Amino acid sequence: MRYAACVEYDGTHFSGWQAQKHDVRTVQEVVEAALGRVADHPTPIVTAGRTDKSVHATHQIIHFDSNSERTDFAWCRGTNRFLDQDVRLRWVTPVEDKFHARFSALSRSYRFIIHNTPIKSALYRNYATHEKEPLNAAVMAEAAQVLLGEHDFSSFRAAGCQANSPIRTMHKLDLSCQQEWIWFDLNANAFLQHMVRNIAGCLMEIGSGRRSVDWLAEVLAQKDRTKAGITAPPNGLYLAGVEYPQEFDLPSQRHNIAFWGE
CB 36 within 8 A of CB 43: yes
pLDDT tens sequence across 13-33: 999 999 888 889 999 999 999
115 and 100 share one domain: no
53 and 64 share one domain: yes
**pLDDT score at 261:** 55
**pLDDT score at 210:** 95
117 and 235 share one domain: yes
118 and 235 share one domain: yes
Nearest CA among 119, 149, 145 for reference residue 132: 119
Q: What CATH number is attached to the domain comprising 192?
A: 3.30.70.660
pLDDT tens sequence across 87-129: 999 999 999 999 999 999 999 999 999 999 999 999 999 999 9
**pLDDT score at 194:** 95
Asked if residue 260 belongs to a domain, the reply is no
119 and 233 share one domain: yes
Instruction: Read off the pLDDT band of 180 (50, 70, 90).
Output: very high
34 and 146 share one domain: no
Region 31-59: what's the mean pLDDT?
Answer: 96
What per-residue string of b and e applies to 214-224 under the rule 16 or more CB within 10 Å gives b? ebbeebbeeee
77 and 153 share one domain: no
Q: Please state the domain count of the chain.
A: 2
**pLDDT score at 10:** 97
pLDDT of 158 above 70: yes
What per-residue string of b and e applies to 85-119 under the rule 16 or more CB within 10 Å gives b? ebbbbbbbbebeeebebeebbebbbbbbbbbbbee
**pLDDT score at 184:** 94
- The answer to whether residue 52 is catalytic is yes
pLDDT tens sequence across 194-215: 999 999 999 999 999 999 999 9
116 and 134 share one domain: yes
**pLDDT score at 162:** 86
Q: What percent of the chain has pLDDT over 90?
A: 89
Asked if residue 258 belongs to a domain, the reply is no
Asked if residue 17 belongs to a domain, the reply is yes
- Secondary structure class of 139 (helix, strand, coil): helix
Asked if residue 255 belongs to a domain, the reply is no
Q: Which listed residue (10, 52, 72, 152) is catalytic?
A: 52
Region 51-57: what's the mean pLDDT?
Answer: 96
Last residue of a domain, one of 51, 86, 104: 104
Instruction: Read off the pLDDT band of 229 (50, 70, 90).
Output: confident
> When comparing pLDDT for 165 and 256, which is higher?
165
Q: What percent of the chain has pLDDT over 70?
A: 96
**pLDDT score at 160:** 86
Q: Which structural domain, as residue segments, surrounds residue 226? A: 107-239
CA distances from 204 to 115, 116, 183, 212 (A): 11, 10, 11, 11
